[in-house]
Chain A
Amino acid sequence: NAGVTQTPKFRVLKTGQSMTLLCAQDMNHEYMYWYRQDPGMGLRLIHYSVGEGTTAKGEVPDGYNVSRLKKQNFLLGLESAAPSQTSVYFCASSHPPERNSPLHFGNGTRLTVT
Chain B
Amino acid sequence: KNQVEQSPQSLIILEGKNCTLQCNYTVSPFSNLRWYKQDTGRGPVSLTIMTFSENTKSNGRYTATLDADTKQSSLHITASQLSDSASYICVVSASYKLSFGAGTTVTVRA
Pair from one complex: yes
Residues of A within 8 A of B49 (CB): 100-102
Nearest chain A CB to B59's CB is how many angstroms away?
11
Interface size in chain A (residues, C-beta < 8 A): 20
| Contact-size category for B | 20 to 34
- Which stretch in A70-78, A79-87, A103-111 binds the other chain? A103-111
Q: In the bound complex, how far is the Cα of B1 from the Cα of A42, in angstroms? A: 14
Q: Which residues of B contact A4 (CB under 8 A)?
A: 43
Q: Are A42 and B42 in contact (CB under 8 A)?
A: no
Q: Is there an interface contact between B96 and A97, defined as CB atoms closer than 8 Å?
A: yes
A-B pairs under 8 A by CB, number: 44
Q: Is the interface of B mostly helix, strand, loop or mixed?
A: strand
* Cα-based distance from A90 to B98 in the complex (angstroms): 15
- 27 of the cross-chain contacts (CB-CB < 8 Å) are A40-B102, A41-B102, A42-B4, A42-B89, A42-B100, A42-B101, A42-B102, A42-B103, A43-B44, A43-B89, A45-B98, A90-B44, A92-B43, A97-B31, A97-B96, A98-B96, A100-B31, A100-B51, A102-B34, A103-B98, A105-B43, A105-B44, A105-B45, A107-B41, A107-B42, A108-B41, A108-B42
- Chain A residues in the interface with B (C-beta under 8 A): 4, 40-45, 90, 92, 97-98, 100-108
Interface residue ranges, B against A (CB under 8 Å): 4, 31-32, 34, 41-46, 49, 51, 89, 93, 96, 98-103
